[in-house]
Amino acid sequence: MEEIYSAWINGELSNFDFILFINFIANRSFNDISQYPIFPWVVQNYKFPDFELEKDKTFRDLSKPIGTLFQDKLD
């Protein structure tokens, strides 16, 4: 695990591959629909014409649950 983590920290492993590895060690698999790998939802809005990676509005607030992305749901 430490080797994979170090490779990810050093940019030698993509975010996708790192998350896939975490799913693998958690026994999640593409072969079992009930244990399919989980990938976090980090983009707030896919309707933007271009992703502006340097702007906070592109990403959702990870301190809140997914169900509270919008103010009406938060209320």
Residuewise pLDDT in 10s, the chain (75 residues): 899 999 999 999 998 999 999 999 999 988 887 888 888 878 877 777 777 778 777 888 878 777 776 777 776
Name the domain count of the chain. Answer: 2
In a shared domain, residues 49 and 28: no
- Look up the domain containing 47 and give its range: 41-75
In a shared domain, residues 24 and 48: no
In a shared domain, residues 35 and 45: no
Element (H, E) at 2: helix 2-9
**Token pair in block for residue 58:** 């592109």
CB contact at 8 A, 74 and 61: no
In a shared domain, residues 28 and 45: no
In a shared domain, residues 47 and 33: no
In a shared domain, residues 45 and 73: yes
